[in-house]
Amino acid sequence: MRLEKIQNLLKEKSLEFQYNEVGGCGSLDFDYRGVPYHIWEYQENGWGVETNVKHGGCNEDLTGDYEEEILQVMKDW
């Protein structure tokens, strides 16, 4: 299972989410305050994610320790 820390935080906050894993990459989709969010992992020249967690309607790619970066944003919600 991928993105486990984020899944645990979503459970702690009682937010429903959908998790899928394809080709070893995790994918999370969930809503928060009526806004749909996603975290989609990919592996192209290293690991990364496409997500809109930081800016709601705008997608961005994160690399490096992306799970911790996303957790810090979501903990402030």
Those residues with Cβ within 8 angstroms of residue 63's Cβ, 6 or more apart along the chain or in another chain: 46, 47, 48
pLDDT of residue 27: 98
pLDDT of residue 56: 84
pLDDT of residue 25: 97
Those residues with Cβ within 8 angstroms of residue 7's Cβ, 6 or more apart along the chain or in another chain: 1, 17, 19, 28
What residues of the chain score a pLDDT lower than 70? none
pLDDT of residue 68: 97
pTM over 0.85: yes
